[in-house]
Copies of this chain bind each other. A is one copy, B any other.
């Protein structure tokens, strides 16, 4: 059994609008050894697999400043610090980034974006019967392009490296796993 490390102290190294970088000093209950562990402390995130009635998935293309490339992703973002629920954040982000809405929501999985260096979690929602109700209204520095792709092409988009964001790849796997529970796999069901 791996033992919990004892927390000794926290030193804040940097604060940004999306996370705080802390150095946490902790000691091993196994060896007594102490170490500094660098962690991005941040609120939780959400992302959304939104599917239309005609079996298309709602995607966004955007410029990403980490990799300095345009990526293809599912919509998502940060949960507002002001006690917003994960589902509310998912509904809000889908609407803001794409103009789509749905009345058929459920959480299909929760992952640790990176349990080694991040304290937060990412909640993945499935929004069935999604339809466009407004124009996208991205905020701040977001420049987005809406992309609709057939559900049947999703595995190919991942396998061919068009979708490369780990949290999106994980969400697509959750989607398949959640479909298994119901005895069908949407990604495969629509395959020829």
Contact = CB atoms under 8 A, between A and B. Distances in A.
Given A28-B143, A116-B66, A173 B180 contact: no
Contacts of A5: 63, 65, 68
Interface residues of A, number: 72
Interface string A166-180: 110110111011101
B116 A169 contact: no
Interface of A is mostly: mixed
Given A71-B115, A111-B165, 20 more contacts: A3-B143, A5-B63, A13-B21, A19-B38, A33-B141, A40-B66, A65-B116, A65-B117, A66-B114, A66-B115, A66-B119, A67-B112, A71-B112, A113-B114, A114-B114, A122-B166, A159-B181, A166-B166, A170-B170, A173-B176
Interface string A138-163: 00110111000000000100110100
